[in-house]
Amino acid sequence: MPYYLQIKIRVLSLTLLIIIVFLFVSRPGWSKEYDPRLLQSSKLAYQGNWREAEALIQQYLAENPMDPNGLFVKGVVLEWKMGLDGEKWWEAQRKMLEVYQEANDMAFQLWNRDQENVDRLIDLGNSYMFLGRKYSDNGSWLKAVLTAKKCQKHLEKALKLDPNRVDGLLALGGFHYVADNGPKALGPFKALLGISGTKAQGLAELKKSLTQQHPFFYDTQMVFIQLYYDLEKNYPEALNALSVLEKEFPDNPEFKFRRARIYEKQDPKKGIEEYLKFAQWCETQREKCHTNYSFLAYYDAGRLSMGLKDSAKTKLYLAKALQYDTQVDTQLTAQALFWPGLLEKEEGNSAAALEKFQKAEKVPGISGSLKKQIEGELSELCKTNSAPCS
């Protein structure tokens, strides 16, 4: 073989080798390759197909019983199952808490055997944030803060070892953002605990988390909706973030419901319009929209109408809500009876008011403060003999 051909072949071989190494070994920004079933399970849940999502993640867990990421995604699937299947809120929260506790324990045991491993650091850091959020959902506020705080050092260490691991940026970005955006009264408390971070830093990390697809990709998009809605009060940006998920998951009723929630913050009348539009969509898409969403749509339309002092529409929408009531949240059921009772009382319809109050009083599991209000109204009606009490 001519010498120049040998040189050419060697150069070509070396070039191919460099390309292969670049693509598959040291590609900048290339994160961990997860089993595609993790993201697919999450995607199915966001589509509204929680049954398929649950079956797929259970299959993954059966084959990978020592991967905490499977449990993280299972928690996401259970979250969607709760809303889409109309599960009791507190019961569902307890189930999810158990899943995240198991994931945290598993992640800790794996990290403890190999404390410099980036995968183990990210899994443990993520587990603390997800568990902390679930403690918050279950009402354990201090435990939530102390648990979420633990994510910081593990994730910051992981990102220092490998800055390309964007799969650790959902929890870390959220932590840094909230550290700079909480109530001022918590300032000394956060300083005492060593909680630090800036809003700009958190936003940058969250945005970077969306530059690659990973098991928490859609959860990151969801975080932007909550961030702009709850913390920033930037409702146009919340709608923009919501539109991204609505476009990809048009059959998920939760996003239509959240659209109405955002609109009501801008204009209660527009909110009512969106809730009623959502209720009509549920009527035509019953297989996709659990009955509880119809209840919530009319309940919120009634709640806003009451705020606008529109007695007729308040009573109309809340009566409609009760037709769809599955008592997923009995506090709302009781309020849907109590508020019209107050209106009937104001309008001098004592018998109708008494009937509403008595029904509201019998609803199980309501808060002590609401129960006290109902009992007070009943007592007043009976004392004045404006209604026949037995």
pLDDT per residue over 194-214, tens digit each?
556 778 888 888 899 898 889
Residue-level pLDDT at 184: 53
Tokens of 274: 């969106």
| Helix, strand, coil in percent for the chain, rounding step 5 | 75, 0, 25
- Rounded average pLDDT per 10-residue block, the chain, 390 residues: 39 36 34 88 96 97 97 96 87 92 97 96 94 87 85 92 91 80 51 63 89 91 92 94 96 96 97 98 94 97 98 98 94 97 94 94 94 93 71
Cβ distance 225 to 242 under 8 Å? yes
Q: What gap in Å lies between CA 240 and CA 244, rounded to an integer?
A: 7
Q: What gap in Å lies between CA 174 and CA 181, rounded to an integer?
A: 10
Cβ distance 64 to 70 under 8 Å? yes
DSSP 168: G
Which residues contact residue 124 at a Cβ distance below 8 angstroms, ignoring those fewer than 6 apart?
Answer: 104, 107, 108, 110, 111, 154
Q: Which among 133, 184, 175, 183 has a CA at the least distance from the CA of 154?
A: 175
Q: What gap in Å lies between CA 169 and CA 191, rounded to an integer?
A: 22
Maximal CA-CA distance, the chain:
115
Residue-level pLDDT at 34: 93
Residue-level pLDDT at 178: 75
Which residues contact residue 359 at a Cβ distance below 8 angstroms, ignoring those fewer than 6 apart?
Answer: 337
C-alpha distance across the termini of the chain, in Å = 110
> Which amino acid, residue 13?
S
Q: Where are the alpha helices (DSSP H) in 181-310?
A: 187-193, 199-209, 217-226, 235-248, 253-266, 268-284, 291-307
Q: What gap in Å lies between CA 214 and CA 30, rounded to an integer?
A: 11
Q: What gap in Å lies between CA 263 and CA 251, rounded to an integer?
A: 20
Q: What gap in Å lies between CA 260 and CA 250, rounded to an integer?
A: 15
> Which amino acid, residue 387?
A
Q: Which among 284, 293, 346, 305 has a CA at the least distance from the CA of 83?
A: 293
pTM of the model: 0.82
Cα distances (Å, whole numbers) of residue 88 to 100, 297, 331, 338, 360: 19, 18, 12, 21, 19
Which residues contact residue 312 at a Cβ distance below 8 angstroms, ignoring those fewer than 6 apart?
Answer: none
Tokens of 234: 């930037």
Residue-level pLDDT at 18: 32
Q: What is the dihedral of CA 24, 216, 175, 208, to 10 degrees?
A: 50
